[in-house]
Amino acid sequence: MKNLLAAIALLLASWPLAARAGGAKPIDETIDEAFRPIAELMSDVMFFSISIGGAELQLVVVWLIVGALFFTVYLRFINIWGFRHAVRIVLGKEDNKPKATGEVSHFQALTMAVSGTVGVGNITHVAIIVSLGGPGAAFWLIVAGFLGMASKFVECTLGVMYRQINADGSVSGGPMFYLDKGLKERKLPRLGKIMAWYYAICIMLGTVGASGMFQANQAYVQFVSVAGGEGSFFDNNGWLFGIGLAFVTGMVVIGGVKSIARVTSRLVPFMAGLYMLAAFVVLAINFDRIPGAFYSIVSNAFSPEGVSGGIIAVLILGFRRAAFSNEAGIGSSAVAHSAVQTDEPVTEGFVAMLEPFIDTIVICTITALVITVTVYEPGMVNSGGAPSGVELTSRAFATVLPWFPYVLAVVVILFAFSTMISWSYYGLEGFIYIFGAKRWSGIAFNSIFLVFLIIGCTTKLDAIIKFSDTAIFAMALANIMGLYVLAPRVKRELEGYWARRNS
């Protein structure tokens, strides 16, 4: 067996040399060319758009915006009045029942879900929207994060309400379960089953795309940038980095949700703190530019410069990136929150609201400020010469100290790793919904997931973004429709919980 593995490794390592000698294409280029047409076709179908004032208005983004706005109003701006209560629950001052049904604490459920949302997107997507739409796009990203807190409350409350306790005591939950059981209660069993199956398939695709391929790709890009850059050994050997990443990820996910929760409860505070500390150093040195940066973010949101489509284009850009970043309305986080130890589903809905706040309102805003005070200049938008993705954020940090990109490289890899281990659990639950909680379920799905980590390190960013966005937004179609149908049930649960608490 060892000899066989050594032979395969030797063959893969010698491929680039054979390519240069005999005209064969490198592995990275071969995989990219095979994957790109699939990603482009999926993107064209999902992001059907209509032109308004020169801007392309994507209907699926409108679906998310309207949903988040509806739930905010329907629950009387719970994202404001419920914030303090959410913090109290996480601190153990409310609903502190360790013997309640579930597998993880409120804090562990939050960190596991946050690790799935606080990923490379917080660094990469902010850079992308600033380079494409200017600082004003970040304003709409923040607004989307605020409204998304209400969507997150509804979906995560439902996740706990309709979760499934398996024979071995483990918990399975998420949109596929509340769509199935919840719509059955509303006398719509067939529709619920169809929507649940659709969602389960989408979350598996979203797992391998958004959390696997995209996160691995951006970790690899940042690693190459600090390990020699273009022309270095790893530049055309992304599969080697992918194998290492897959091995480390596999060591965690094989232990299931409790193993993931233990890692994320320690990793999330550390990686978020490290990133914000580095960002605060940059902002402190550029302190005099911060007021101007805030002014640019707000003013540019309503009067963007050099953006085709004007304010509508910038608004859509911000909302689309926010949905990818905090996943509000997508329903994925409900999988993690379903495992919480509680007999009051609403409490985890409150806790879940903190995700968009941490992910989008705090971390994404900090990234936007760092870029705006350092490398952004009027006229950069659509200039064609500005870097995009993590390279732009890296350049912003490098303006303060040349070695800051090394710190950012560590953060990016940690962000990517945390997202991958959480999302592997999300995809596994979709797999379990379809195939059942079999002994082989975890091995089968995780093996597929780890292979796609390697593919992500060999595929170019634009193709991965198309594939990832398509899979993520496809989940929202079924999820938000289910949230509308089940919203009255959530409201009654909220009113009952608040009455019990006050009495």
Residue 396, domain member (yes or no) = yes
Long-range contacts of 179-187 (CB under 8 A, 24+ apart): 179/478, 179/479, 179/482, 180/433, 182/158, 182/482, 182/485, 182/486, 182/489, 183/482, 183/485, 183/486, 185/489, 186/485, 186/486
Tokens 């994957």 correspond to 35
DSSP string for 78-138: HHHHTHHHHHHHHTTSSS--TTSSSSB-HHHHHHHHHHHHSSTHHHHHHHHHHHHH-THHH
Q: Which range marks the domain in which residue 205 is found?
A: 50-502
Note the Cα 265 to chain centre separation in Å. Answer: 17
Hey, what are 52's tokens?
A: 């308004």
Is 4 part of a structural domain of the chain? Answer: no
Amino acid at 420: M
Ranges in the chain, pLDDT < 70: 1-35, 52-57, 95-99, 102, 116-122, 226-236, 303-313, 323-325, 376-390, 459-465, 468-469
| Model pLDDT, residue 18 | 45
Spatial CA neighbour of 368 closest among 317, 300, 294, 310: 294
Q: Is residue 28 part of a domain?
A: no
Query: In sequence order, what are the residues at sequence separation of 6 or more whose Cβ sits closer than 8 angstroms to the Cβ of residue 18?
Result: 24
- Inter-axis angle of helices 404-435 and 189-206, to 10 degrees? 150
Output the pLDDT for position 226. Answer: 66
Residues 122-179 have pLDDT tens digits of 677 777 777 777 787 788 888 888 998 999 999 999 999 998 887 777 788 889 999 9
Instruction: Round to the nearest angstrom and report the end-to-end CA distance of the chain.
Output: 66
Q: Under DSSP, is residue 181 helix (H, G, I), strand (E, B) or coil?
A: helix
Predicted confidence at residue 9, as pLDDT, reads: 45
Cα 417 to its chain centre, rounded Å, is 12
Contact 459, 217 (CB under 8 A): yes
* Total of domains in the chain: 1
Is this model's pTM higher than 0.85 or not?
no
The vertex-289 CA angle with 273 and 297, nearest 5°, equals 80
Please tell me the distance from the alpha carbon of residue 467 to that of residue 45, in angstroms, as a whole number.
Answer: 11
What is the reported pLDDT for 196?
92
pLDDT per residue over 412-443, tens digit each?
778 778 888 888 888 888 888 888 777 777 78
Q: Which 8-state DSSP code applies to residue 384?
A: S
CA–CA separation, 156 vs 70, rounded Å? 16
| DSSP reduced 3-state for 421 | helix
Is residue 30 in some structural domain? no
- Residue labelled with tokens 């991958």: 420
Please tell me the distance from the alpha carbon of residue 18 to that of residue 112, in angstroms, as a whole number.
44
Determine, yes or no, domain membership for 63: yes
Q: Yes or no: say if 263 and 421 are a contact pair by the CB < 8 Å rule.
A: yes
Residues 214, 219: Cα–Cα separation, whole Å: 9
Per the domain annotation, does 131 fall within a domain?
yes
Phi, psi of 264 (to 5 degrees): -70, -30
Residue 317 CA to residue 130 CA, distance in Å, equals: 10
> Which are the contacts of 357, defined by CB distance < 8 A and separation ≥ 6?
83, 145, 149
Q: Which residues pair with 171 in a beta bridge?
A: 165
CA distance 352 to 346: 10
Residue 425 forms beta bridges with which residues? Answer: none
Question: Phi and psi for 381 in degrees, rounded to 5?
Answer: -60, 130
Joined together, the tokens standing for residue 166 give 């398996």
What per-residue confidence (pLDDT) applies to 4? 35
Q: Which of 288, 309, 284, 314 is nearest to 299 (CA)?
A: 314
pLDDT score recorded for residue 80: 92
Write out the DSSP string of 275-308.
HHHHHHHHHHHTGGGHHHHHHHHHHHHHS-SS-T
Cβ atoms < 10 Å from Cβ of 100: 14
Question: Does residue 37 fall inside a structural domain?
Answer: no
Q: How far apart are CA 235 and CA 220, in angstroms?
A: 9
Position 45 in a domain? no
CATH number at residue 144: 1.20.1740.10
Contact between 334 and 478 under an 8 Å Cβ cutoff? The reply is no
What phi and psi values does residue 429 have, to the nearest 5 degrees? -65, -35
